[in-house]
Amino acid sequence: FFFGSNDVTNPGSMDYSSCVGSQLKYLVQSLTKQNFNANATEIDKLLVTFGIEATRFLLGHLVQEMHSGDLLEVSHRENLKLRLLNLVLSRLPKEVNFISLASEVLDEVQVGGASQPASKCEFLTQLCRALNLPLVVQLSVGLGLSHSYNPANQREGIQFLKNKLGEVTANVVKTLPDNVLHHLLHFISNSQVFSESERTLLNLESLRQSLLSLNSLSASVREITSSKKKRDSETTRLVNDLSDNLSLAGLIDEMGYVVTGSKQAFMALVDLLPNLSAQNIAQAVGLLSMNQGGVADNESLDVHNCFMAVCTNTKQDTPMLGLGSAAFSPSSWNADIFVTCINERYTIDWREVIRSLDYPEFRLTSGRGLAAILNLYKRATGEPMPVDPLFGKWQNRTGQLQLLQQLPSAPPDLIDWSCSGAPNIRQVCLDGLPRMMHTQYPAWSCLEYIETLLNIADQEHQATARAVFEHAAGPMRACPDLLVITLMQAQPKRQALHHELIHALLPPYIVGHATSPHVAQVIPHLINNSPKALAEGLLHCTGPALPLEKVVDFAIEHQFFQPLLTHCTKPTYIVSLTTTAAVRGAFNLREWMSNLLMGPTPMVTKRAITRALLRITEAAVAAAAERQMQGTP
């Protein structure tokens, strides 16, 4: 065929093949982001239908367009013709006759003129750098130019290959397609191409032996079969080695949004990582949640295209440009593609994935990040995410606290506060209070959630943990009745913030200043369900904000005085309570002391209370004597 008729305006001078060439030109010239997918599909159909000649014409046209338009500068990375050329060149190693194809296209390139590269070697270098081509594609175009009928072009191709041989390691050799491997071996074995110093400098003999170990021009059928089996085994080992060193999160970070732009692309990526664990997937989930604003840059599609080119092993695996318009320039992660591919390739405990977010780099700075995690879990399992993997002691306390900060605002259909199958998750007892408090504020009804927040509140994180309770939508304002009840039932290992919150919440209920909706039911509930915690709370709160006299009045009014003495663990406080009540005529101190000393109270407690009472008595006697000396009544 001749695809490039000079007179495309005269129908009489056009044959069928020139119409195809005109159609290819039109599809290239009319490329836009909006029609890229449709044009790409049409181009692919033409290439499949008309074969090598159509591919040669398209390559030549794109190279000339790029060359004449000076599109090799970095500022032109977004040019759609460059992206199209990238894809076409990436298929080049799969063509059986790629040598002649590349040679004919590159022979037409003009160099040495104004604003042109000085040589074909320089042109190829700029081309490979601008398109970020994989090494196998670079070797293919170099081999093509080195087989040119033009001696000058041959020399340029040889020089380009010499520059690239330093990048061809033993591991790279194992990944080369057979046709590229064959021609590269022939090139290395040509003694006329290299000087002795070059052969030594480039370590060509070692490279040649690596090539020969995989394939040989003179090998028998049996040897070739054996060599192929060895090569397949080596390739499998190499992939396994790579999967041990590659990180799914790292690859996603490198490629950006386009990696989840199509199922084919992401499936090709996960196929490189056959041994993914819950920890590996958790790091990928963490990356997606931490980068809801985007990590993709202008080069991400180029990386994606090159990746797809080297991951497809046969020419007919997929259409050349099977990128949908959404995948071409995506602005977000595709959660459906991510979880679908992961679930198809691996058997994953997604609850363990959530628990494995406890890794050093994990951070969550916005509600969008939590929404991403919750949506991924729902898509992966069909169920709302249980909260219990987020509780307990994490190594990454900062990341854990950032997660816990966002949980109360999570949609109820995406999060499971009851944690079916996790019996250790305790809900607050609300006897005597409306049950709707559970459903209205599920986070603040969950004792494990409260205790985890309190336990995280070390010196570094106490202010942040406190803010979770105190902010405008926090429980101290939204549901103080529920919070004070939950705090009284909580049993955190770290007490500082626990005491601080009780100190802020409890006094208004004791002195009668609380105005919350269920204030009348809170005190009876605490007396009946949390008497020990209430007694300890009164002990810690007694002071300027809650005078001892108010505590005594409260205890007497609610018939809580005797339980208060029983549950209180500080002898001096017990004596202060009893003496204050005795002075008010509401308590028989003599009878109480007699019962205490004669009863089963441990001797240590008896001695401590007796000493405390003696000190108070001595202080009172001394104060009375001082007043008598001064004449003060």
Q: Across 100-114, 576-590, 611-625, which has the greatest mean pLDDT? A: 576-590
Within-domain flag for 286: yes
How far apart CA 43 and CA 320 sit, in angstroms, is 9
Q: Are 261 and 330 in contact (CB under 8 A)?
A: yes
Q: Is the pLDDT of residue 315 over 60?
A: no
Name the β-bridge partners of 543.
546
- Evaluate whether residue 393 is within a structural domain: no
Give residue 162's domain range. Answer: 11-240
pLDDT digits (tens, 9 = 90+) for 336-357: 999 999 999 999 999 999 999 9
Percent of the chain with pLDDT over 90: 29
User: Is 50 within the bounds of a domain?
Assistant: yes
**pLDDT given for residue 191 in this prediction:** 55
Same domain? For 129 and 234 the reply is yes
- pLDDT-derived band at 321, boundaries 50, 70, 90: very low
Check if the beta carbon of residue 522 is closer than 8 Å to that of residue 484: yes
Task: Provide the b/e sequence for 517-551 (b: ≥16 CB within 10 Å).
Answer: ebbebbbebbbebbbebbbbbbbbbbeeebebebb
* Highest mean pLDDT, choosing among 389-398, 599-608, 617-626: 389-398
pLDDT (tens digit per residue) in 110-158: 777 766 778 888 888 888 888 888 888 888 888 888 888 888 888 898 8
- pLDDT (0 to 100) of residue 204: 63
Indicate if 149 and 25 belong to the same structural domain.
yes
What residues have CB less than 8 Å from 36, skipping those under 6 apart? Answer: 80, 321, 323, 325, 328
CB-CB contact of 426 with 387 (8 Å): no
* Cα–Cα distance for residue pair 565/532, rounded to 1 Å: 10
Return the pLDDT at 15.
46
SS (H, E, C) 355-398: HCCCCCCCCCCCHHHHHHHHHHHHHHHCCCEECHHHCCCCCCHH
Based on the fold, state whether residues 72 and 117 are members of the same structural domain: yes
Q: Last residue of a domain, which of 199, 216, 240?
A: 240
Domain co-membership, 161 together with 296:
no
Specify whether 210 is located in the same domain as 284. Answer: no
Q: Are residues 205 and 276 in the same domain?
A: no
Cα 541 to the chain's mean position, in Å? Answer: 44
| Residues 289, 192 share a domain | no
pLDDT at 623 over 70: yes
Q: How confident is the model at residue 167 (pLDDT cuts 50, 70, 90)?
A: confident
For residues 422-433, give the mean pLDDT: 76
Whether 100 maps to a domain, the answer reads: yes
Is residue 296 over pLDDT 50?
no
State the pLDDT at residue 259.
83
Is residue 302 a contact partner of residue 86, using CB atoms and an 8 Å limit?
yes
Residue 347 forms part of a structural domain: yes
Same domain, 92 and 179: yes
Instruction: Examine residue 450 and state whether it is found in any structural domain, yes or no.
Output: no
Look at residue 465 and tell me if it is in a domain. Answer: no
Structural domains in the chain (count): 3
Residues 204 and 262 in one domain: no
* Distance in Å from the first CA to the final CA of the chain: 125
Q: Which of 9-18, 39-48, 525-534 has the highest mean pLDDT?
A: 525-534
Among 218, 240, 262, the domain-final residue is 240
Is 67 found in the same domain as 27? Answer: yes
Residue 564, pLDDT score: 94
Domain contains 471: no
User: How confident is residue 583, by pLDDT bands cut at 50, 70 and 90?
Assistant: confident
Q: Which pLDDT belongs to residue 177?
A: 78
Q: Give the distance from CA 223 to its chain's centroid.
A: 47
What does the alpha-carbon distance between residue 492 and residue 504 come to, in Å, rounded to a whole number? Answer: 17
Q: Same domain, yes or no, for 336 and 231?
A: no
**Same-domain check for residues 289 and 226:** no
Task: Give me the sign of the Cα torsion angle 43, 46, 51, 56.
Answer: negative
Looking at residues 546-556, what average pLDDT do you find?
Answer: 93
Domain boundary among 387, 412, 439: 387
